[in-house]
Chains A and B, each alone.
Chain A
Amino acid sequence: EDKVVQSPLSLVVHEGDTVTLNCSYEVTNFRSLLWYKQEKKAPTFLFMLTSSGIEKKSGRLSSILDKKELFSILNITATQTGDSAIYLCAGSNYGGATNKLIFGTGTLLAVQP
């Protein structure tokens, strides 16, 4: 059965710290790995990774995928209180020409001032 596991489950840091969130996956016919940030309601899209070793970057956030070891990391540098959220990663596969995403349970990040 396809699964995505995130660690840690929760994390408390202070503003300015750097954090690394982990995501490992076992997804049949893997296609891509996606990261989302969820604050109050809808998850907002951060990154989609399809190729190994190519870092994607957006401001203080960056992410990379390792398709050999089946994991991805999300880095946040110089954290701010506005980064407090649940970070979700999800795997997608090629099975059945579908856009189904398999989500991990998320990492709850709390950034204290």
Chain B
Amino acid sequence: KAGVTQTPRYLIKTRGQQVTLSCSPISGHRSVSWYQQTPGQGLQFLFEYFSETQRNKGNFPGRFSGRQFSNSRSEMNVSTLELGDSALYLCASTGTGWSEQYFGPGTRLTVT
């Protein structure tokens, strides 16, 4: 069974631009969660989608948004990029019930 995939793997953007990251969960998984990982703050929860609906949202500004499609693939968007948005963005998929989350390889975003 294929794992969680994320594209692109690396991205360099300029302040003020916007970016869209994509995540395809494990086949059959309907929940996708997004996390931001930085050296100073560690792994922080951004939001979770289940059946195309956002179920929970972390403490991030409105510049961070996401969506989920009917095939469970998810995208997250960051608008008006700031230098502090440079981070590894990880998505994780979860199967039925309260099971463990499996992470994708991440997208390394660098904002210059």
Contact = CB atoms under 8 A, between A and B. Distances in A.
B104 to A, nearest CB: 6
A48 B88 CA distance: 24
A99 B104 contact: no
A97 B96 CA distance: 12
A42 B104 contact: yes
Contact of A101 (B33, B104, B105): B33
Contacts, number: 63
Contact of B55 (A31, A98, A101): A98
A106 B90 contact: no
Interface of A: prevailing SS: strand
Interface residues of B, number: 26
A101 B106 contact: no
A45 B102 CA distance: 7
- Greatest chain A CB density within 10 A among B4, B43, B48, B105 is at B43
B4 to A, nearest CB: 8
Contacts of A31: 98
Contacts of B44: 103
Interface string A20-49: 000000000001101010000111110010
A99 B34 CA distance: 11
23 contacts: A34-B101, A41-B88, A42-B90, A43-B90, A45-B102, A45-B103, A48-B100, A88-B42, A88-B43, A90-B43, A96-B55, A98-B48, A98-B56, A99-B33, A99-B55, A99-B56, A100-B56, A101-B33, A101-B43, A101-B92, A103-B42, A103-B43, A106-B42
The 7 closest A-B pairs by CB, nearest first: A98-B56, A103-B43, A42-B103, A105-B42, A99-B94, A48-B100, A98-B55
Given A42-B106, A43-B90, A103-B42, 5 more contacts: A45-B100, A45-B102, A96-B56, A101-B35, A104-B42
